[in-house]
Amino acid sequence: MTGSPLDIDGLDLEDLKQLIFRLLEENVVLREDNVALREEVARLKGLKGRPRIKPSGMDKATQANTTRAGVKTGRRGAKRLVIDTEQVIAASVPARALADA
């Protein structure tokens, strides 16, 4: 878009779309150049650059862990419950509880 300004009133719809697309592409390139130049200026001035932040790893916590598949969690020293005695307990149930069923 160097040179004289365009007369956009004389452009049809397709030409306007192409112009907008070209301007958006140019805008992206200029923004990337601007960021690079700002980083270079900061480096030359001896300032700290943008911080390098590592990902937190929280997304890994939501995924299934394939290395521990089949391993039960809980207390490691817990043993299986063994039933050695059975006992029947009589309970008194109100008559209205039986009527609702």
Report the predicted TM-score, pTM, of the whole model to 2 decimal places.
0.41
> In the chain, which residue ranges form alpha helices assigned H by DSSP?
13-45, 58-62, 95-100
Q: Which carries the bigger pLDDT value, residue 70 or residue 26? A: 26
Buried b (16+ CB within 10 A) or exposed e, 45-60: eeeeeeeeeeeeeeee
Mean pLDDT computed over 48-64 = 74
Reported confidence tier of residue 35, pLDDT bands at 50, 70, 90: very high
Reported confidence tier of residue 92, pLDDT bands at 50, 70, 90: confident
DSSP class of residue 5 equals P
Mean pLDDT computed over 51-75 = 68
Token output for 58: 């929280």
Query: Hey, CA dihedral for 34, 40, 45, 46, is it positive or negative?
Result: positive
Place of tokens 């006992």: 87
Q: Which carries the bigger pLDDT value, residue 68 or residue 59? A: 59
